Structure formats: C-alpha cells, structure tokens
A and B are shown apart, each in its own frame.
Chain A
Amino acid sequence: MELDASGSTVAEALAALWQAYPGLRDRILTEQGEVRQHVNIFVGEENIRYCGGFAAAVRNGSSITVIPAVSGGADETRHSLDDLFRIHQHSGVSLKRYSVRHSVQRHKKTRPLQENLPSIEDLEAELSETANPEKHDE
C-alpha cells in the first residue's frame, strides 16, 4: 500500500501518515509531540534523534522506518521483523508498509483492497511480544 504526499522532512512524511491513519499518532508520539521513549524512527539507517529530529531531510527513494526500541528485551531478529511500518520516499511521500510480509498477506485476504493496512489492534498484536518495557511498583 502506498500513500502519496508531498514533503521533504520527517515531520511532513509523518503528517501524511497521521492523516491516513489517525490512530497511529498517539502510539508513536506523546501528547507533547515527542517520539515515545521506546520507539525509534529511522531515515535510512539513521535514528532521527541524532540527525535533526522531525526536521531531518527525506530524499527521494529513502525509507522512514518506525521500530520499537530494543529496550524491554526485543532481540535483533524480532526487532527486524517487527518494524511497525516504513515510509518510502518517491517524488512525494509514499508509505509502504510493512516489513512483516506474512502479516500483509494475511490482512489482504481478509480486508477490502483499500484497507490492506492492518488496524491499530493488528499492529499492536504484532508488536505486543516485545513492546513491553519492564516497569514495577516498588
């Protein structure tokens, strides 16, 4: 599934994503507009925390990847499989989900074409095994 939009920064690419899937915004950003502590956003292989944040440039052909952080116990294999989604930049902004191909195929079987993207519940279910920072009450 691809979503066309214009823009040259991470912020603009994400804005297109929020517009298409409003439920994702509060999962990825806090109410103060910051990337959640245990979520990372990469442009190519660069974490935007270290390359300009939301103002980081997005060039044609680059990918934006949102991944739950390794903190909490996700191993490298799960990590790579559990990419939440990727944003692929063409002339505009295109959103290409998803690194979990089997999941895409499964959803395609059960959803109308325009709803190939999984729901919030599906995304959370895919990620639930690793997306749990250990906290405690003591």
Chain B
Amino acid sequence: MEPKTFVNPKKSAALLLVGTMKGAFILSSDRDRERWEVSGPHFPGRIVYALAYDRRAGRQRLWAGTSNFFGTLLHSSDDFGRTWTNPDSAPIKFPEDTGQSLKQIWQITPGREQEPNKMYCGVEPSALFESNDGGQSWSLVRGLFDHPHRAKWQPGGGGMCLHTVLLDPANAMRMHVAVSTGGVYRTDDGGQSWQSRNQGLTAEFLPDKHPEFGQCVHKVDQHPWRPERLYLQNHGGLFRSDNAGDSWQDIGNGVPSDFGFSMVAHPHDPDTAFVFPLEREMRVGPEGKVRVYRTKDAGGSWEPLGSGMPQQDAYETVLRDGMAADALAPAGIYFGTRSGKLYASRDEGVNWRQILDRVPAITCVKAASV
C-alpha cells in the first residue's frame, strides 16, 4: 500500500475519510476492500475533527472541518481532495448577540436524500448550524440554542460540544442531537423546538444520577432502516432506545468496561452494533488488548472481536468519531486510534487488519461509497 498524493475512486468504490490532529487522509478501494490507496495529508498541521461525504443529487463532494490558531473553517472538495475551498470568510459564525465564538466543528451531516441542499454542523461550543443552500451559507438553529437547558450544559473533557447529529430518514421533521455534557435532544418539528430525551440515561458524576439532562453522552447512532432504534455510548454505560429516545435501557451486558467513546450501528441489521470499550483509568482497551465488541442481539450480549489485532501490551484509544461502518455487504467496520493506526474489517468485525499506521492521532473516521 503506497501512499499516493491523490485518490481517484471509481464509481461505487469504498471511501474512508480519516481526520487527525494534524491533517486528514483519504483512502479508496474497490468494493472488495482488499487494497487501499491513500491520499494525504490534506490540511497538514490543522486539526480535523469532522469529515463527510455528500453524494446527494449526483455530487461527489467531500467536506472537512478544520482548525488551528487562526480559527475554524469548513472546506469542500469536488475532486476527492485535489483542491479544497479555503474561504476568506469563516462560513460558520455565531451571531453577535450570542456572545459565542466558534471553536470546533465536530460533525458535518448532509441532509436527507430528498433535501439535497440541506446540511447540518454540530459545533463547539454546543450548537447546531444548518445550511439550506448546499453549505454556502449557515445559520444558527435558534430553537436549540435558546433552549433553557443550554445555560446549564457543562463541558466534558473534550470541550462543550454538539458531536452527534442524526436525521430520521423517514421523518423530515425529526432529528436527534447529542451534547457533551447535556445529553440527547430531539426535535419533531424540524428544529423549531427541542426536548431532552434522556430518560434512563445515567450521570454518575452528578448528585442526581438520573437527571432530566446533563448526561455526558459520548456517541449515539441509529439504525438507518429502523430509525427509532438508537444505540448510545455514555460516559459510563451502554444504552439502547427502541422509541426514538423516549426511554433508554442499559445494555452493558458482558463488556469488560461500559466506558468508551464510539458507537456504531450495523448498516443492515438493527440488532447489531459495535463498540470499543475503554478501561476508565487509562482510557485504553482493557487488558492491553485491541478489541471491538459486537452485539448481535440488540445489546443482550457482546462478543469480543480481536482477530488480527494486538492482544497484549497494547494501549489504544478510540475517540467518539473514530469508528465507522460502510454500507456494503458484508459490512466493513473501521476504527482509528490516538496512536495513529487505522484498522479495517471487511467481514463485519470478525477479522481485522491494519491499513494505515504512523499518522497523527486519529479523531474521526467516516466510511462512504462513491
């Protein structure tokens, strides 16, 4: 696997977008996902927390949120990273009356298929921005920003961020976001009003262990075909909801640690999900092993999957956006570590191999099909 300056993926190729603390990398493979071409670093020296691929309306557009001393920018590329936009004016800005300044873009989410010019960004400090013109201009979603809970949200170790944006593909009015710390919020009216959806989620660091809001939710994912099913990695605890967040039940059964950052729902099977448990003290894989845990019964039980990965003396951390699944069959599962390694499985987690090494600390991994 020789690094290349640019990738040139063919139609239906598999695409991996990898963000790091010092730039981004783009990997491309055919549907077999045996050999990967690597392009990068893009944005060398800049922190890349958010990447996305937008294939709606015939686009082949990459998006990247980057930051350094000189602020946070949103870039796009229509040629797989050969050229990127570099706007003079920062595209995402808090209005003056908010008194807030953008620190980081944590999530870039293209809208639903039927709304090809809609886009969302989750940012730090915790807020949601939306675009109705394909990402040219952005506005603050006031319904969430003005929520009375917001003043009591607290920053987690990674900052006070809105890190997850989940669109219900079947209901254009419904959307979930997750905030650390703050918890899960849902709108059923297209973003005009938002309700906390944290019943059953714990906040072990508060006197009230089951507050209405204030949970440190690390990541939420939803099943694309059954969007009322959500899986959640909490700051302590694994949870599932079968009613779009109205209530949550603990599914941390049989994992070596219920702490972790990432959570990935299987693209096809709503009963399957993947996590990367971390022991609390060092926040690395327990027992010095690199293992993904998979449930195939909606969290009733979890099995370790480590074939092809180090099983001793390994101290790897996977961050909240560091794991992803593609939509191919069998599904490919991918994760990147803070030590700059990218692992891939093309058989739904059974066997793994390292496909990238010695890159800067990986902050996000996104998988897509061209």
Centre residue among A120, A121, A138 by max chain B CB count within 10 A = A138
Q: Which residues of B contact A32 (CB under 8 A)?
A: 94, 96, 99-101
For the complex formed, measure the closest distance between the CB of B156 and the CB atoms of chain A, giving whole angstroms.
Answer: 9
Q: Is B114 an interface residue (CB 8 A)?
A: no
Q: Which of B87-119 contact A (CB under 8 A)?
A: 87-90, 93-94, 96, 99-102, 104
C-alpha gap A127/B68 in the complex (Å): 10
B310 on the interface (CB 8 Å rule)? no
Take A39-B69, A72-B69, A136-B158 as given contacts and tell me if A31 and B86 are in contact as well, using a CB distance cutoff of 8 Å. no
Inter-chain contact A138/B283, CB cutoff 8 Å: yes
Q: How far, in whole Å, are A32 and B321 apart by their CA atoms in the complex?
A: 29
A65 to chain B, nearest CB (A): 15
Asked if B363 CB lies within 8 Å of chain A CBs, one says: yes
B320 near A: Cβ within 8 Å?
yes
Residue of A25, A31, A38, A132 touching B96 (CB-CB under 8 A): A31
- The residue in chain A whose Cβ has the minimal distance to the Cβ of B101 is A30
Q: What's the dominant secondary structure at chain A's contact region?
A: loop
Would you call A2 an interface residue if the criterion is a C-beta within 8 Å of the partner chain's C-beta atoms?
no
Set of chain A residues within 8 Å of B96, measured between Cβ atoms: 31-32
Task: Determine the distance from Cα of A6 to Cα of B319 in the docked complex, in whole angstroms.
Answer: 51
Residue of chain A at shortest CB distance from B90: A26
Interface contact B102-A138, CB-CB below 8 Å? no
Answer whether residue B29 sits at the interface, using C-beta atoms and an 8 A cutoff: no
A residues 25-71 touching B (CB-CB < 8 Å): 25-28, 30-32, 34, 36, 38-39, 68-69
The answer to whether A132 touches B319 (Cβ under 8 A) is: no
Task: Report chain B residues within 8 Å CB of A124.
Answer: 68, 70, 86
B100 CB contacts on chain A under 8 angstroms: 32
Q: Given the complex, which residues of B lie within 8 Å of A28, measured CB to CB?
A: 70
Q: Of B68, B69, B88, B94, which is within 8 A of A26 by CB?
A: B88
For residue B179, give the distance in angstroms from its CB to the closest CB of chain A: 14
CB nearest neighbor in B for A84: B70
Interface size on A, residues (CB 8 A): 30
- Closest B residue to A123 by beta carbon equals B70
A71 and B7 CA atoms in complex are apart in Å by 35
Out of B44, B68, B88, B320, which one reaches A137, CB within 8 Å? B320
Dominant SS at the B interface? loop
Smallest beta-carbon distance B323→chain A, Å: 13
A135 CB contact (under 8 Å) in B70, B90, B104: B104
**CB atoms of B45 and A132 under 8 A apart:** yes
CB of B69 within 8 A of CB of A69, answer: yes
Please tell me if the beta carbons of B69 and A127 are within 8 angstroms of each other in the complex: yes
Contact pattern, A 9-23, Cβ under 8 Å of B = 1, otherwise 0: 000000000000011
**Which residues of B are found within 8 Å of A25, using beta-carbon distances?**
89
Interface bits A102-136 vs B (CB < 8 Å: 1, else 0): 00000000000000000011001001110111111
Q: Is B22 an interface residue (CB 8 A)?
A: yes
Q: Is the beta-carbon distance between A132 and B101 smaller than 8 angstroms?
A: no
Q: Are A31 and B68 in contact (CB under 8 A)?
A: no
Contact partner, A128, options B68, B94, B157, B363, Cβ 8 Å: B68
Q: Is A120 a contact of B86 with CB atoms below 8 Å?
A: yes
B127 located at the interface, meaning its Cβ lies under 8 Å from any Cβ of chain A in the complex = no
Q: Which of B49, B70, B90 contacts A127 (CB 8 A)?
A: B70
Q: B289-316: which residues lie under 8 A (CB-CB) from chain A?
A: none
Give the nearest-CB partner of A136 in chain B.
B158
Q: List, in ascending order, chain A residues with CB within 8 A of B317's CB.
A: 138
The reply to whether B45 and A26 form a contact with Cβ atoms under 8 Å apart is no
A34 to B361, CA, bound (A): 30
For B102, list chain A residues within 8 Å (CB): 30-31
**B186: Cβ under 8 A from any A Cβ:** no
Complex Cα spacing A39 to B261, Å: 32
CA distance A30 to B96 in the complex (A): 10
Contact check: which of B22, B94, B319 meets A138 at CB < 8 Å?
B319
Give the complex CA separation of A39 and B44 in angstroms.
19
Chain B residues in 8 Å Cβ range of A137: 49, 157-158, 261, 319-321, 363
**Which residue numbers of A lie inside 8 Å of B, CB to CB?**
22-23, 25-28, 30-32, 34, 36, 38-39, 68-69, 72, 120-121, 124, 127-129, 131-138
Question: 18 interchain pairs (CB within 8 A)?
Answer: A23-B88, A25-B89, A26-B71, A26-B89, A31-B94, A32-B99, A34-B101, A121-B86, A124-B86, A127-B69, A127-B70, A128-B46, A131-B45, A132-B47, A132-B69, A136-B157, A137-B261, A138-B317
